[in-house]
Amino acid sequence: MKKGKAENAFEGLLSRQDYLVVQANDLAKAFGNLKAFEHRLLDYCFSYVTKESNVTDTFVVTTKEVIKHFGLNATGYSYERVARAFKSLNENTALYLPIVENGVKGILMTQLFRKIKFLANGEVEFVFSEDAAPYVFALRSQFYSFKLAELAQIKSKYATILMKIWEANRFKKQRVTTIQGDLDEWQDWFLGTEKRMAPAIFVRNCLKVGAEEIEKKLEGVDIYLNVVKNGRKVVGYEMQITDNRQPTTAEVIQQAEKDSYQTDIYDYLGEKGEDVSI
C-alpha cells in the first residue's frame, strides 16, 4: 500500500529532524550547536525558574550580575559578549516537539524563548515560549539538580554538555549512571546536526576533553568509555560515570524537599487538556 505524499514528506522531515524533544531532560541534549559560554548562560537562565514559576513569567537579570557570576571583568567587551550570547540563544534554540491532533501525528516547530529584551542600561528580560515552558519547568524541578556554582567551574563546551547529559540520564542521586547512544546521537549532542567528525577525532577532541575536565574539577567522579563496534566499524558509545562523592546533610535535606514538589511534565500538560501520546 502506497503512502500519500504528505505522509511521506512528514516521515522524511522526522528522519532528518535536528532534535525531537519528547521529555524535559531532552533539553540537556538539544543544543549541541551552542558555544560553551552560551551553554553556561542558558544554565543561568534556567536557574531563575522555581516551583512557583508560571508560563507567562518574565524573568529579569542584569548584564552586571551575569558578568559577576562568570567572573569576568566589567569591561565593554564583557558586556558585548553577554549581549551576543543572548542573541545566539534567541537564534539557535529551535525546538521540535511531537504532537498529536485529532489522532494525526505531527511536529510543532517552535523556539525555547518567546522573547529576549536587551536594554541599553544592561537589563535583560526573557520569557520562555508557552510551548517550551512546561519542559523547562520540569527540567528545573526534576533533572537539573547541579548547582550553578558547580556548573560555573566547568569551562569547556564538551564538559558542560556531558554534565547535562549525565544529569538527564541519572536517577536521583544514583552512584553509577550509564549513557548509551549510537554514533550520530553522540555527535548530535556534542556538535549539533550540521557538523561531523571521524570517530577517533570525536573521542579525542570531544568526549575525552569533556570527561577529563569533569574528573579534574569534580574530585571523586570517574568516567569510563566503551566504544561499541560492529566488526571494525564504530557504531556508538557507552559511557559509565561513577560518582563517589558523599552528599552533605544539607544536600540530603534539599533533595527531600525537592522530591516533595516534583511535578511530572505529563501531569502539567494533562492539566491543559492536551493529548501527549506519541
pLDDT one-digit tens code per residue, 178-228: 999 999 999 988 988 788 999 999 999 999 999 999 999 888 899 999 999
Residues 208 and 165 in one domain: yes
* CA–CA distance, 197 with 211 (Å, rounded to integer): 18
Q: What is the pLDDT of residues 238-277, one digit of tens each?
A: 999 999 886 654 454 455 555 544 444 445 444 544 443 3
Q: What is the pLDDT of residues 39-73, one digit of tens each?
A: 889 888 887 887 778 888 999 999 999 988 888 89
Residues 155 and 212 in one domain: yes
The three grid cell numbers given for residue 22, joined into one nine-digit string: 519528547
Instruction: Please report, as a single letter, which amino acid is at residue 109.
Output: M
Residue with the bigger pLDDT between 194 and 14: it is 194
Q: Is residue 255 part of a domain?
A: no
The per-residue pLDDT for 91 is 93
Residues 34 and 75 in one domain: yes
pTM: 0.63
Q: Which residues contact 89 (CB under 8 A, 6 or more apart)?
A: 34, 38, 41, 42, 45, 112, 113, 116
Residues 76 and 212 in one domain: no
Residues 169 and 224 in one domain: yes
Q: Is residue 100 part of a domain?
A: yes
Please check the confidence at residue 11 and state whether its pLDDT lies above 70.
Answer: no
Q: What is the CATH number of the domain that holds 227?
A: 1.10.10.10
Residues 271 and 215 in one domain: no
Q: What is the pLDDT of residues 87-130, one digit of tens each?
A: 999 999 988 888 888 888 888 889 999 999 999 999 999 999 99
The per-residue pLDDT for 266 is 43
* CA–CA distance, 190 with 159 (Å, rounded to integer): 10
Residues 138 and 23 in one domain: yes
* CA–CA distance, 83 with 32 (Å, rounded to integer): 20
Residues 120 and 17 in one domain: yes
Residues 139 and 271 in one domain: yes
* Banded pLDDT at 24 (limits 50, 70, 90): low
Per the structure, the complete domain to which residue 237 belongs is given by 147-245
Residues 102 and 165 in one domain: no
Q: Is residue 251 part of a domain?
A: no
Residue with the bigger pLDDT between 154 and 126: it is 126
The per-residue pLDDT for 219 is 84
H-helix or E-strand spanning residue 116: strand 113-118
Q: Is residue 252 part of a domain?
A: no
Residues 140 and 211 in one domain: no
Residues 160 and 224 in one domain: yes
